[in-house]
Amino acid sequence: MQLLDQLNDSILSLSGFWPEIALLVAIGIIVLTDLVFMPRSEDRLSVATPGVFLPANAGAATRNRTIQYGLSLLAVLVTGAFVIGQGSLEKGYLFNSVLLLDNQAVFYKFVVTLAAGFAILHAWTVRPKTAIPLDWLPLLLSLLLGLYLMAMSVNLLTIYLSIELVSISSYLLTALSTSRKASEGGLKYLLFGAVSSALMLYGMSLLYGLTGTLALPDTLDQLSRNDSLVIYVAGFLTLAGILFKLSLVPFHVWTPDAYEAAPTPVVAFFSVGPKAAALLVLMRVLTILPAGFQTPLAVIALASITFGNLSALWQTDAKRLLAYSSIAHAGFLLVGVVAFNETGFEAATFYVATYVFINMAAFLLIDLLNQQQDENLTIQKFSGLGTRLPFLSAALTVVMIALTGLPPTVGFTAKLLAFSSLLEAYQTGGNPWLLALFGIGLLNAVVSLFFYLRIPFLLYFRPASTTDLPHKTTPLSPLILASVLTLAVLLLFFKPDWVLRWITRL
């Protein structure tokens, strides 16, 4: 293609790139407004010092905070509207075929936009006076931009660059505060991310050497002419970075420390946003790889489910418990993908779409029940809160039931669809590993009862661990947010077709 033709194609591609352009503009505006409206140096010092809030200084800090959160939420709403508008646009390749705007990309972009909006509302309404540095907002939007690009990437180069944008933003968000735990968690995240990124880049270089192209659609025809062993080596190395974003074994080691170190709203987004985009990238990459990858991926799913659930049994910290839970759920998410059929891919998509509501609700409710606003939240601190905070306790009980996968919650529907597609794949192909994944996966769902329902047990059947906690009235806005998320978890059990009808048209 001539240079002029490439330029014209890039200009025409801008019509399908409005959400990403809006995010770029929003990031610049938010950074500039922070520089304009931030308190003076002496004001910032007084705000950062607990108990020292002069009225004028506190007012400047509060005004800046309101502006930053308002602009960030507006940016998410505007980009979300652009994403919805893309559903009616003509679909096709963008920027010389390195990105693809299709119905799948639009759906996953909408899912991660929803998660970003919930995360911003979580931080804005639940923690108005706790120290989450405002720098996290442009970083969150940068991460969201990377997820948008991941969802549209159909070229090995753009896949790598978009994953790196997501990873770098995630490293900074993890280590944003000045605590030692945040620095340690961010460093572990960075080191393991660098290793998985290097493996992925090496695998992509092998795929390029085998095929002579970076475009995924062209790679399929070329790979069929090469030796299977070489394809397996290149394929597994390439998948390393994607499995890392999904927190799957053996690329899971960073997860507990990063979840414990980062602020709860940030962790809530980590648990769903990157996983959603990585799932779509995984499904796109698997379409060019031979079916022989089914058995190794089944082993990875089985290992992730078992390791995540068994490790969660021994956790006393709520965020670490949910970290190991996310590893197990990544394995359940992979169950649909392992089926290697259309039903399985639809089940995995439904799982990740509904998992947004379940996990965002879990972290929000844990934060609301955290009476002391302490980042080191042990589950023993939930003891006796069932009578003190009845609505929040009941909502958290519903969410824990959903994470377990029991009715009447959408968690049951998601697991039912995933394992039904797996059983269908076993009946078609007869792979014994699929049957093992089916049986042991269901057994792990029973094991998860012991740690998920431990929290409701403490809420209702154990006395309060301390009696000197002041009774705090929960503000209305986080209660509304918690109600919306919990109601969605229940309603989608009775009306799964609200999401399934959209998914079947992808």
Model confidence pLDDT, tens digit, residues 293-305: 888 999 999 999 9
Please tell me the predicted confidence (pLDDT) of residue 401: 94
* Omega before 19 within 30 of 0, i.e. cis: no
Q: Is residue 263 within 8 Å of residue 366, measured between CB atoms?
A: no
pTM of the model: 0.91
- Cβ neighbours, 10 Å, residue 155: 24
- Cβ neighbours, 10 Å, residue 498: 11
Alpha-carbon distance of 270 to 305, in angstroms, equals 19
Here the tokens at position 117 are: 């909006």
Please tell me the predicted confidence (pLDDT) of residue 371: 58
Alpha-carbon distance of 172 to 136, in angstroms, equals 8
Question: Between the CA of residue 255 and those of 6, 151, 299, what are the distances in Å?
Answer: 41, 22, 20
Locate all alpha helices (DSSP H) within 87-179, ordered by sequence. Answer: 103-126, 136-152, 156-174
Q: Is residue 411 within 8 Å of residue 332, measured between CB atoms?
A: no
Query: Can you list the residues of the chain whose pLDDT is less than 70?
Result: 1, 38-60, 127-131, 221, 224-227, 291, 371-376, 465-472
Please tell me the predicted confidence (pLDDT) of residue 201: 93
Q: Is residue 417 within 8 Å of residue 350, measured between CB atoms?
A: yes
Alpha-carbon distance of 293 to 263, in angstroms, equals 37
Q: Among 226, 232, 349, 352, which residue's Cα sits nearest to residue 286?
A: 232
Q: Which residues pair with 215 in a beta bridge?
A: 155
* Omega before 408 within 30 of 0, i.e. cis: yes
Here the tokens at position 74 are: 């507006």
Please tell me the predicted confidence (pLDDT) of residue 36: 81
Please tell me the predicted confidence (pLDDT) of residue 387: 85
Please tell me the predicted confidence (pLDDT) of residue 59: 64
Please tell me the predicted confidence (pLDDT) of residue 51: 40
Please tell me the predicted confidence (pLDDT) of residue 469: 54
The residue type found at 9 is D
Query: What kind and span of H or E run contains 384?
Result: none
Alpha-carbon distance of 441 to 332, in angstroms, equals 8
